[in-house]
């Protein structure tokens, strides 16, 4: 029997632009720092970004085994897979929904992940075909929702939470990204996108607020350079926030009971 990940966790958002992929990369790195064996699946078929964020060259393609299976690409100690490894950097995936869903399912099921402790799935934004396919094809241990404090982001984050609740996938917690900007000159904290929105949403749905990530230039700079800030500045305050979030996520996972993949009824 081919080994499979112990826990598959979706990292999702209701809308794009909230920094979900950056959060996923750093959350994976934080878990790996804690001694866990971690995989990262980039399930955004149309706009894969993990290859760039992990500093993997465009020339890298995954090795194959038996002409059927893919071997994950290792980056920063993580086992990774992405459509970005299988297509040219400037080639758009002009596919209808079922084709993209099929591609995502193959990346999930045809990759020899090995005996991972956790597989994080960087989901595309929204609540469409790929999200439903993952819920049906993988036994998700839970989901982490990423949002910003902005009202419009919180509205869409609610849709994400309710989608996972509908398909009976536990929401392990919420991560509020771009929570506030800290001035590098004077230390003044400015909540540019609103204040306490993540706390209020977490309280409304009775899920943990795993962490509040500041709007910090270093996060963007390191991501652009292909290195998670958690690894670039392991002793920094941001790395500590991510490690605390990872610890809380694993604690929430320990409280979940394994469940079979749900049957989704659109009539409910």
Residue of 65, 69, 91, 75 lying closest to 42 (CA atoms): 75
Residue 138: both structure tokens together: 């993988």
Q: What percent of the chain has pLDDT over 90?
A: 47
* Burial classification of residue 258, based on how many CB atoms lie within 10 Å of its CB (0-12 exposed, 13-18 middle, 19 or more buried): exposed
The pLDDT score that the predictor gives to residue 153 is 77
The pLDDT score that the predictor gives to residue 52 is 92
The pLDDT score that the predictor gives to residue 148 is 85
Which residues make beta-bridge pairs with 38?
118
The pLDDT score that the predictor gives to residue 1 is 39
The pLDDT score that the predictor gives to residue 266 is 38
How far apart CA 58 and CA 128 sit, in angstroms, is: 28
More confident residue, 197 or 156: 156
How far apart CA 6 and CA 210 sit, in angstroms, is: 21
Residue range 248-263, pLDDT digits in tens: 999 999 876 544 444 4
Q: What percent of the chain has pLDDT over 70?
A: 83
- The number of residues making up the chain comes to 268
Strands across the sheet containing 209-212: 73-75, 78-82, 38-42, 118-122, 7-12, 142-147, 171-176, 209-212
Residue range 54-110, pLDDT digits in tens: 999 988 999 999 888 999 999 999 999 998 888 755 555 555 666 777 888 888 889
Residue range 98-154, pLDDT digits in tens: 677 788 888 888 999 999 999 999 998 776 777 777 877 778 999 999 988 877 778
Residue 60: both structure tokens together: 């890298």
The pLDDT score that the predictor gives to residue 17 is 80
Rounded to two decimals, what is the model's pTM? 0.87
Residue range 10-49, pLDDT digits in tens: 999 877 788 899 999 999 999 999 999 999 999 888 778 8
State which H helix or E strand residue 64 sits in. Answer: strand 64-65
Three-state DSSP class for residue 211: strand
* Burial classification of residue 98, based on how many CB atoms lie within 10 Å of its CB (0-12 exposed, 13-18 middle, 19 or more buried): exposed
How far apart CA 198 and CA 125 sit, in angstroms, is: 18
Which residues make beta-bridge pairs with 55?
none
Residue range 188-233, pLDDT digits in tens: 666 656 566 778 888 888 999 999 999 888 899 999 999 999 999 9
Q: Which CATH architecture has domain 7-44+116-254?
A: 3-Layer(aba) Sandwich (3.40)
How far apart CA 196 and CA 22 sit, in angstroms, is: 21
The pLDDT score that the predictor gives to residue 112 is 95
Residue of 228, 252, 253, 224 lying closest to 242 (CA atoms): 228
Which residues make beta-bridge pairs with 212?
176
Secondary structure (DSSP) of 85-138 = GTS-TT------HHHHHHHHHHHHHSB---S-SEEEEEPPSSSSHHHHHHHHHS
Alpha helices (runs of H) in the chain, residue ranges in sequence order: 20-33, 50-53, 97-109, 129-137, 151-166, 197-205, 217-224, 229-232, 237-254
CB 62, CB 85: distance < 8 Å: yes
């Amino acid at each position: 029997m081919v080994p499979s990940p112990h826990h598959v966790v979706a990292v999702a958002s209701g809308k794009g632009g909230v920094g979900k992929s950056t959060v996923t990369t750093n959350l994976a790195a934080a878990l790996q720092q804690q001694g866990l064996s971690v995989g990262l699946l980039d399930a955004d078929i149309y706009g894969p970004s993990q290859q760039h964020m992990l500093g993997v060259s465009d020339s890298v393609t995954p090795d194959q085994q038996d002409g059927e299976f893919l071997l994950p690409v290792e980056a920063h100690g993580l086992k990774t897979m992405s459509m970005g490894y299988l297509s040219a950097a400037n080639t758009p995936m002009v596919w209808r929904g079922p084709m993209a869903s099929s591609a995502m399912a193959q990346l999930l099921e045809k990759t020899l992940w090995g005996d991972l402790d956790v597989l994080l799935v960087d989901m595309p934004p929204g609540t469409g075909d790929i999200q439903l396919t993952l819920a049906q094809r993988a036994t998700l241990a839970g989901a982490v929702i990423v949002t910003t404090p902005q009202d419009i982001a919180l509205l869409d984050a609610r849709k994400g939470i309710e989608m996972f609740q509908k398909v009976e996938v536990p929401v392990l917690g919420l991560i509020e990204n771009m929570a506030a900007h800290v001035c590098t000159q004077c230390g003044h904290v400015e909540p540019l996108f609103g204040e306490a929105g993540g706390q209020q949403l977490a309280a409304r749905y009775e899920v943990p607020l795993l962490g509040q990530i500041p709007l910090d230039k270093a996060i963007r700079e390191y991501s652009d350079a292909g290195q998670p800030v958690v690894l670039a500045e392991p002793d920094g305050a941001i790395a500590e926030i991510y490690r605390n979030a990872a610890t809380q996520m694993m604690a929430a996972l320990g409280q979940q009971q394994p469940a079979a993949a749900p049957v989704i009824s659109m009539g409910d």
